[in-house]
Amino acid sequence: MSINLTTKFSDKIDERFSIRSLTDAYAGHNYDFDGAKTVKIYSVDSVPTRVYTRSGMNRYGNPVELGDTVQELQLTQDRAFTFTVDRGNASDQMNLKHAAQRLRVNWDEVVTPEIDRYRLKAWADRCGLGTVRAAALDKTSVLEAIVAAGSEMSNALVPLDNRVLFIRQSVYTICKLADEIMAIESLGEKSIARGIVGMIDGTHVVPVPDSWMPAGVNFIIKYRGASVDPMKLKSLRVHSCPPGIDGDLAECRYYYDAFVLDKKVCGVYVHAKSGMANMPALTYDATAHKVTVASQDNVTFYYTKDGSDPKTNPAKTAYSGAVTLAEGEVFRVYGELAGGTLKGPIAEMKY
């Protein structure tokens, strides 16, 4: 990289635009990764109810050992950057490049967008709910799409509190032109008319630059508690005149990741126009206890029968035809689109 030396420098630096993190406030920090690279999370199974019998030995029913599933979360994003500020260059540039200040600026301009992009992609890739609609959203359909997504999450028992709508900036612009949304006080005249983000359908609205959203995604609705997003290390240091350098050496290391909990995948909904398979359509034969998945063009389906998440279970099976379920088994399936960028939402069927 060139160093520009001239007779005199301005005492000001032309900074790039930067914005604060859009995801931090809605990331999950409920699990402790201190001292470990991998954390195992146990999810305890539930059992069905039955009619109490007033005679006999097993009046409550036949007891079964309470089972569980384990999800293993392993950090993968160990990242860094570094630069030097030579004492001679600094002197010839009126000492404009203060290493500590430039560390912070580089964090804001480079690292924050990187982390936000990674989290949005990771959350979307693990979605439990979602839909693909090739038709572009317009000001007459955008509110319907958002409300329908929220309804699906509510039907999946996702709490209404602590939901956030991450919406592509170009789609958010359409929202500002929608008469139905302008009529909603919390995101209408008191908010959108002034360009201030508010709420839609009880959900916080966060516009995201188009380039930060996963390809093909219009919006993501996320429940805060659905994810685990550790930032294990965040180290920014300046070394003054280390061996071999007459000047400052700046170093930054950050170690992080983003996960969606297996039991809370319905806490993430993705509305896409392309790039992922649609929600699998299931047909269940109650007599033979067989479940069938309707085909989709260029989509391969993967499933589990133990109730685990097929996106994270390495023992998942590629679907090739009707699957027979035994009593107590839970069939979960998702699709991978050839050439797609995201795994599709998950459908479920119980015996």
Q: What percent of the chain lies above the pLDDT cut of 70?
A: 88
| Token digits of residue 7 | 């007779």
Length, in residues, of the chain: 351
Q: Which domains does the chain have, with CATH numbers?
A: 76-274 (no CATH), 276-351 (2.60.40)
Q: In the predicted model, is pLDDT for residue 74 greater than 70?
A: yes
* Candidate from 32-46, 143-157, 252-266 with smallest mean pLDDT: 32-46
How much is the pLDDT for 133? 94
Measured between alpha carbons, how far is 26 from 65 in angstroms, rounded to an integer?
36
Q: In this predicted model, what pLDDT tens digit does every residue of 8-65 receive, in sequence order?
A: 444 444 555 567 889 998 998 877 787 778 888 887 877 888 899 999 888 999 888 8
Distances from the Cα of 166 to the Cα of 83, 99, 118, 132, 221, angstroms: 34, 34, 14, 16, 6
Cα Rg of the chain, angstroms: 25
Q: In this predicted model, what pLDDT tens digit does every residue of 85-143 receive, in sequence order?
A: 998 887 766 555 688 888 999 999 999 999 999 999 999 999 999 999 999 999 889 98
Q: In the predicted model, is pLDDT for residue 293 greater than 70?
A: yes
**pLDDT tier at 318, thresholds 50, 70, 90:** very high
Distances from the Cα of 313 to the Cα of 12, 19, 129, 208, 303, angstroms: 54, 37, 18, 31, 9
Q: Which amino acid is at 325?
A: L
Q: In the predicted model, is pLDDT for residue 191 greater than 70?
A: no
- With H, G, I as helix, E, B as strand and everything else as coil, classify residue 27: coil
Q: What percent of the chain lies above the pLDDT cut of 90?
A: 63
How much is the pLDDT for 71? 83
Distances from the Cα of 67 to the Cα of 90, 260, 288, 301, 348, angstroms: 64, 21, 26, 26, 19
